[in-house]
Structure 1
Amino acid sequence: MRIVVIGGTGLIGRRVVELLRDRGHDAVAASPSTGVDTITGSGLAEALRGADVVVDTPNAPSFEDGPVLEFFERSTGNLVAAEKEAGVRHHVVLSIVGADRLPDIGYMRAKVAQERIVRESGIPFTIVRATQFFEFIGALADGATRGDTAVLSDVLMQPIAAADVSAALADAAVAAPVDGVIEVAGPEPLRLDDLARRLLAARGDARTVVTDTNAGYFGGTVDDQSLVPGNDPAITDQRLESTSYSRWLEDAR
């Protein structure tokens, strides 16, 4: 199959391309650095010519409420229009577990808008909602740091290795569209403050993590059901990956 990976040079997309090529597919990495811009539409028609499947993994350059919504609406709108012209038969999009349960977080609202455009496009689709990546725990700690202290919520999440997310997307790309949502998550529920403590300790980082139950998540209010899988009855399927946080920390050293 010819499979075009939008965002195919990023953290997730790059690995999706590698996995698909290893399986013998014609996988194309499409991003602004390869001449494909889903915001302007430049290079999009050429990239999708002859494509069977599109895997949609780009990230917004800004997390601010207005710009992130505009990015996903414009990018996804341009993409599905080009897919219809090209005769693409399956749109696989990466989203976030709990996105529709967190309407006070602008990024989540933008991902829900992206999902809606995909659902309403008329193109067979698979939405892959992933939990927080292990790779982003450090950024969460950095954003919560003042001086030598990081103040973080003890909210429950079930984070996942980025490589496992890529594998789930690659599998979805070569499978039949489910016209629904697949959740993917790591093997164990863990608390955000403890995740950060373990990461800083593994890196030899002397910062102290202080727990504040009311610290929230990206400025939004969360509880122990917000960021973990299994709380949405409309989910078509669920996939728990095997890479544990302890194993990932060892491999990341």
Structure 2
Amino acid sequence: MKIAVIGGTGLIGSQVVKLLNAQGHEAAPYSLSNGVDLSSGKGVAEAIKGAQTVINLTNSPTFDDASAVFFRETMENLIDEAEDAGTEHIVILSIVGADRVPDLAYYRAKVLQETLLAEQEKIPYSIVRATQFFEFVTAVMSWTSDDTAVRLPSTLVQPMASAEVANAVAQVAAGEPLMGVRDYAGPEVFPLDELGRITLAFQGDRRPVVVDESAGLFAAVHGDAIIARDGAVITRTTYQEWVSSR
């Protein structure tokens, strides 16, 4: 199967391309680096020409209100070009619980992206939702830390390895369109502050983690909003296994 992976050079996309090609598919990565700009539409028609499946893994450069503009433009451009190209399946990657966090602009923007794809009626589609990636924990901590402490809310998270996110996307892309959503989540639930302490301990960092319910992006997430519900696919790799292997 010929598969175009837009956003195919990033953390998830590069792994998806590798997995699909190893399975015997003809998967090609496209991004700004090779002249494909989904925001403007430049190069998209050429990239998806002849591809039965198109995977959209592009991501907004910001987490603020501008992210909604990005996801609207990129999704509408892709749908238009995919209709013209006769694409048989569009796959996007979204976030578990995005629709349960209305106070977060980026999550609202991801719901908009999902809605635009689901409401068009001409192209079969699949929406893969994943929980937060292990790889992003250190970045999340850096947003609200200084030389003396790391400040994190006690938000419940259920993170997973990016390798397992990529595997989920590849499996769905190679299969029949879901015509809906499939959730994937890690095997463990942590308060974010606890995950921070585990991470600092493995890094040999002696800074304390201070619980601050107003700190950072995840302060807008309440209760178990981004925890997987019944029916989600639960992956195998634990955080301690992953961090120990780094």
Quickly name the TM-score band, shorter chain normalised.
Answer: over 0.9
Q: Which amino acid aligns with 1:250?
A: S
Shift of the 219–243 alpha-carbon distance from structure 1 to 2, 3 Å rule, reads closer
Matches within 5 A, 1:4-19: 4-19=4-19
Name the CA distance, whole Å, in 2 between partners of 1:37 and 1:44: 7
Cα deviation, 1:45-100, whole Å, max 9, x if unaligned, reads: 000100101111111112221x2111111011101111111111111110001101
CA deviation after TM superposition for structure 1 residue 219, in Å: 6.0
Name the CA distance, whole Å, in 2 between partners of 1:121 and 1:38: 18
CA deviation after TM superposition for structure 1 residue 220, in Å: 4.7
- Retained in 2: the 8 A contact 1:153–1:211? yes
Name the CA distance, whole Å, in 2 between partners of 1:186 and 1:249: 14
- Retained in 2: the 8 A contact 1:20–1:170? yes
Q: Give the secondary structure class of the aligned counterpart of 2:82.
A: helix
- Retained in 2: the 8 A contact 1:102–1:220? no
CA RMSD of aligned residues (A): 1.3
Aligned equivalent of 1:247 = 241
Q: Give the secondary structure class of the aligned counterpart of 1:226.
A: coil
Q: Give the secondary structure class of the aligned counterpart of 1:77.
A: helix
Moved more, 72-81 or 214-223: 214-223
Q: Which amino acid aligns with 2:167?
A: A
Shift of the 171–15 alpha-carbon distance from structure 1 to 2, 3 Å rule, reads same
Cα deviation, 1:87-142, whole Å, max 9, x if unaligned, reads: 11111110001101111100001101100111122211111111011111111111
Aligned equivalent of 2:77 = 78
Cα deviation, 1:136-173, whole Å, max 9, x if unaligned, reads: 11111111113421111112111000110000000000
Cα deviation, 1:165-187, whole Å, max 9, x if unaligned, reads: 00000000011111111000011
Q: Give the secondary structure class of the aligned counterpart of 2:220.
A: coil
Matches within 5 A, 1:98-247: 98-122=97-121, 123-212=123-212, 214-215=213-214, 218=217, 220-230=219-229, 237-247=231-241
Name the CA distance, whole Å, in 2 between partners of 1:201 and 1:228: 24
TM-score, reference length from structure 2: 0.96
Q: Which amino acid aligns with 2:207?
A: R
Q: Give the secondary structure class of the aligned counterpart of 2:217.
A: coil
Q: Give the secondary structure class of the aligned counterpart of 2:177.
A: coil
Aligned equivalent of 1:29 = 29
- Retained in 1: the 8 A contact 2:99–2:107? yes
- Retained in 2: the 8 A contact 1:93–1:126? yes
Q: Give the secondary structure class of the aligned counterpart of 1:142.
A: helix
Q: Give the secondary structure class of the aligned counterpart of 2:242.
A: helix
CA deviation after TM superposition for structure 1 residue 6, in Å: 1.1
- Retained in 1: the 8 A contact 2:60–2:67? yes
Q: Is 1:49 equivalent to 2:49 in the alignment?
A: yes
CA deviation after TM superposition for structure 1 residue 216, in Å: 5.9
- Retained in 2: the 8 A contact 1:124–1:177? yes
Percentage of identical aligned residues: 44
Matches within 5 A, 1:89-100: 89-100=88-99
Name the CA distance, whole Å, in 2 between partners of 1:33 and 1:205: 36
CA deviation after TM superposition for structure 1 residue 34, in Å: 1.5
Q: What is the count of residue pairs matched by the alignment?
A: 245
- Retained in 1: the 8 A contact 2:13–2:29? yes
Moved more, 165-174 or 151-160: 151-160
CA deviation after TM superposition for structure 1 residue 9, in Å: 0.1
Q: Which amino acid aligns with 2:235?
A: E
Moved more, 181-190 or 164-173: 181-190
TM-score, reference length from structure 1: 0.93
Name the CA distance, whole Å, in 2 between partners of 1:130 and 1:38: 22
Cα deviation, 1:6-29, whole Å, max 9, x if unaligned, reads: 110000000000000000100010
Name the CA distance, whole Å, in 2 between partners of 1:120 and 1:219: 29
Q: Which amino acid aligns with 2:16?
A: V
Q: Which amino acid aligns with 2:31?
A: S
